[in-house]
């Protein structure tokens, strides 16, 4: 995500052009990243959107047995960063582009590639806005995240926050003359820990999620300058994952603000009226819930051969954003999320074969009679 994706977008655009397929781009504010959208088939209403993100997480500090940015095949697996999450899905579609074009489709297929999904689904809103501006209202959006080709119609919403306590520095020999940002941040973290336990009891009837409840965890903490200085500043990053239907304000933010107003800020202000503690929203990724009319989900079952009940996942995707925009959406793609973001990430070749069958069924479904 920290690098430009334009080289990849240029490659895909040129590849599509070789087959006479035009594509459109939407750039970020820096001009160094872009979404790509292309339509294969007739210029008619509806269609199926195949969606994927172009970015990957870094490999810094990970010990790989092979070059993470060069695909290595061994023992029935393809190893490399992004093989499972989630580049096999769009790569397979692009490899089958000649078959889609030869099929004389009567319903279009749309390719939607986004940037910066891994750092908060930053590109997807612009991509969705482009689709809407083109007057396209797809009958289904398929997010090709790794689900082992199982149809997923629910995932948790993801909310990330940064809380900063600003205190007052003092010599550590006289701690009562200062306001310890770290101590007050620690008290707040302790409250959030208690709240995380309470959240486990606040989600009923959703046992298909793993874990089957809302979660909250603190992931980063930094502050202070030296052991003999009462710390002026402390910042911690934290995350909440809510099952669809859970309200972040009611469940988390309102209780937190009440605690800060009643317990933390008064103590800080006794020493310094300028002391503060504030929370900033960093990422908001809406959850995905079942569609009232499950036509898209039923299509997914037909294409995947998955006859079981639709599943639920605890990781976030761009699906919630597409659904919030009014598009019927489900998640289904090759690979396992358990292999993602790790050293020696891989995808089973059997999963790619299963996804190929999915694409072949899609072609047959959309070709002219």
> Which residues 6+ apart lie within 8 Å of 337 measured at CB?
84, 85, 145, 146, 147, 313, 315
Q: Which of 7, 10, 43, 55 is catalytic?
A: 55
| Spatial separation of the C-alpha atoms in residues 169 and 223, rounded to whole Å | 12
Going 315 to 321 to 324 to 330, the CA torsion angle's sign is negative
Asked whether 317 and 241 are in contact (CB, 8 A), the reply is no
| Spatial separation of the C-alpha atoms in residues 340 and 343, rounded to whole Å | 8
Q: Which of 85, 117, 145, 297 is catalytic?
A: 117
Clarify whether 7 is annotated catalytic. Answer: no
Clarify whether 55 is annotated catalytic. Answer: yes
- Residue 322: which of 87, 155, 89 has the closest Cα? 155
- Residue 205: which of 194, 213, 216 has the closest Cα? 213
In three-state secondary structure terms, 57 is coil
- Backbone φ, ψ for residue 211 (5° rounding): -75, 155
| Spatial separation of the C-alpha atoms in residues 22 and 286, rounded to whole Å | 31
Q: Which two tokens stand for residue 145?
A: 């995240």
- Residue 109: which of 369, 368, 363, 297 has the closest Cα? 363
In whole angstroms, how far apart are CA 38 and each of 23, 54, 159, 355, 358? 4, 15, 31, 20, 20
Asked whether 86 and 351 are in contact (CB, 8 A), the reply is no
Catalytic sites, residue numbers: 55, 117
């Amino acid at each position: 995500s920290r690098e430009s994706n334009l080289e990849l977008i240029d490659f895909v655009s040129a590849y599509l052009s070789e087959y006479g397929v035009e594509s459109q781009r939407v750039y970020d504010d820096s001009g160094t990243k872009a979404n790509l959208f292309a339509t294969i088939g007739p210029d008619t209403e509806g269609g199926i959107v195949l969606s994927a993100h172009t970015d990957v997480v870094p490999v810094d500090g990970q010990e790989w047995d092979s070059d993470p940015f060069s695909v290595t095949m061994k023992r029935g697996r393809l190893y490399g960063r992004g093989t499972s999450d989630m580049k096999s899905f769009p790569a397979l579609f692009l490899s089958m582009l000649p078959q889609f074009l030869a099929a004389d489709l009567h319903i279009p297929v749309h390719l939607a590639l986004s940037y910066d999904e891994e750092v908060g689904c930053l590109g997807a809103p612009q991509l969705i806005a482009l689709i809407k501006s083109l007057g396209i209202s797809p009958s289904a959006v398929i997010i090709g995240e790794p689900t082992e080709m199982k149809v997923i119609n629910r995932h948790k919403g993801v909310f990330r926050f940064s809380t900063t306590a600003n205190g007052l520095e003092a010599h550590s020999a006289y701690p009562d003359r200062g306001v310890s940002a770290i101590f007050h941040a620690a008290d707040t973290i302790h409250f959030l820990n208690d709240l995380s336990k309470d959240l486990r009891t606040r989600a009923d009837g959703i046992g298909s999620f793993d874990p089957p409840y809302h979660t909250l965890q603190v992931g980063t903490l930094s502050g202070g300058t030296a052991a003999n200085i009462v710390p002026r500043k402390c910042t911690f990053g934290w995350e909440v994952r809510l099952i669809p239907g859970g309200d972040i304000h009611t469940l988390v933010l309102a209780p937190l603000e009440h605690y800060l107003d009643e317990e933390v800020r008064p103590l800080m202000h006794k020493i310094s009226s300028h002391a503060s503690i504030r929370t900033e929203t960093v990422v908001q990724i809406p959850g995905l819930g079942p569609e009232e009319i499950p036509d898209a989900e039923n299509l997914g079952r037909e294409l995947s051969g998955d006859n079981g009940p639709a599943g639920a996942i605890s990781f976030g995707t761009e699906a919630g954003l597409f659904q919030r925009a009014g598009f019927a959406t489900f998640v289904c793609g090759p690979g396992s999320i358990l292999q993602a973001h790790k050293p020696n990430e891989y995808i089973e070749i059997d999963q790619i074969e299963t996804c190929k069958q999915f694409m072949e069924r899609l072609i047959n479904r959309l070709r002219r009679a």
